């Protein structure tokens, strides 16, 4: 039986280490495909169009919404972010576990559309460490950092809506834990409905034959 891919949503406070974790996860195991989002925010130094994001204008983004080309989209700290549909659908068909590194509004939309999606929430071990990582990244102004920390306070209210909390203390340990959680999730009954139906049908046929 060909294994189907799972849609894995990874959210977490800005600076929690999601991007770093996801790069490491995809590098370490070949079962994952990382979705590249579309955004209207400006590229940070070191970011390349098509790699971290597809960087587009507001006009282009709104045209993409109208065309129905996004699985979900949301606004975050004044910019649009969205998940292109085509890549996600193709990779799932190929049996890959597709990772969407998105914020909470998008995560909840995904859960609504795809109830079998797995939702993971990444936090650093403490808020002190969060501030250290966010400032240490050196890519945002103090105003932007403060806006993101304020947003983190709002996002923290939604953590219970996720399936698992993942604490990113030591990076390698955290990557291994995420891999174990995702692979374990493949065995949940709600992600194996077809298999369960087949087994039930076979058992019924067996019972009929014996009677």
Interface with ligand ADP by CB under 6 A: which residues? 12, 14-20, 133, 136-137, 168, 171
Contact 101, 24 (CB under 8 A): no
Residue 100 Cβ vs ligand ADP, minimum distance, rounded to whole Å: 13
Residue 107 Cβ vs ligand ADP, minimum distance, rounded to whole Å: 14
From 44, 55, 38, 58, select the one nearest 14 (Cα to Cα): 44
Q: Return the residue of 103, 118, 120, 162 that touches ligand 5GP, per CB under 6 A.
A: 103
φ and ψ of 28, to 5 deg: -80, -30
Residue 53 Cβ vs ligand ADP, minimum distance, rounded to whole Å: 12
Q: How far apart are CA 167 and CA 177, in angstroms?
A: 9
Within 29-88, which residues bind ligand 5GP (CB under 6 A)?
Answer: 37, 41, 72-74, 76, 81-83
By C-beta, is 52 or 62 nearer to ligand ADP? 52
Contact 15, 148 (CB under 8 A): yes
Tokens of 63: 């045209």
DSSP single-letter state for residue 173: H
Bridge partners of residue 100, in order along the sequence: 9
Give yes or no for residue 14 binding ligand 5GP (CB under 6 A).
Answer: yes
Using CB distances below 5 to 8 A depending on partner kind, what does residue 131 bind out of ligand ADP, ligand 5GP, none?
Answer: none
Using CB distances below 5 to 8 A depending on partner kind, what does residue 5 bind out of ligand ADP, ligand 5GP, none?
Answer: none
Residue 178 Cβ vs ligand 5GP, minimum distance, rounded to whole Å: 15
Instruction: Give, in degrees to the nearest 5, the angle at Cα 144 between 143 and 148.
Output: 120
Tokens of 125: 């071990």
Q: Using CB under 6 A, list all residues that contact ligand 5GP.
A: 14, 37, 41, 72-74, 76, 81-83, 101-103, 105-106
């Amino acid at each position: 039986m060909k294994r189907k891919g799972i849609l894995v949503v990874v959210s977490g406070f800005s600076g929690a280490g999601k991007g770093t974790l996801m790069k490491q996860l995809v590098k370490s195991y070949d079962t994952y495909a990382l979705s590249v989002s579309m955004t209207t925010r400006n590229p940070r130094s070191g970011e390349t169009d098509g790699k971290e994001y597809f960087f587009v204008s507001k006009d282009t983004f709104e045209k993409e919404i109208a065309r129905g080309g996004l699985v979900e989209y949301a606004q975050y700290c004044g910019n649009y972010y969205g998940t292109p549909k085509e890549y996600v659908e193709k990779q799932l068909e190929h049996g890959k576990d597709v990772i969407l590194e998105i914020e909470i509004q998008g995560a909840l939309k995904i859960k609504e559309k795809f109830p079998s999606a797995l939702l993971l929430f990444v936090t650093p071990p403490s808020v002190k460490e969060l501030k250290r990582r966010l400032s240490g990244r050196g890519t945002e102004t103090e105003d932007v950092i403060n806006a993101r920390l304020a947003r983190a306070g709002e996002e923290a209210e939604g953590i219970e809506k996720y399936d698992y909390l993942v604490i990113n203390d030591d990076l390698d340990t955290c990557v291994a834990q995420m891999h174990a959680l995702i692979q374990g999730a493949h065995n949940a009954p709600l992600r194996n409905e077809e298999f369960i139906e087949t087994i039930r049908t076979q058992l019924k046929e067996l019972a009929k034959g014996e009677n």
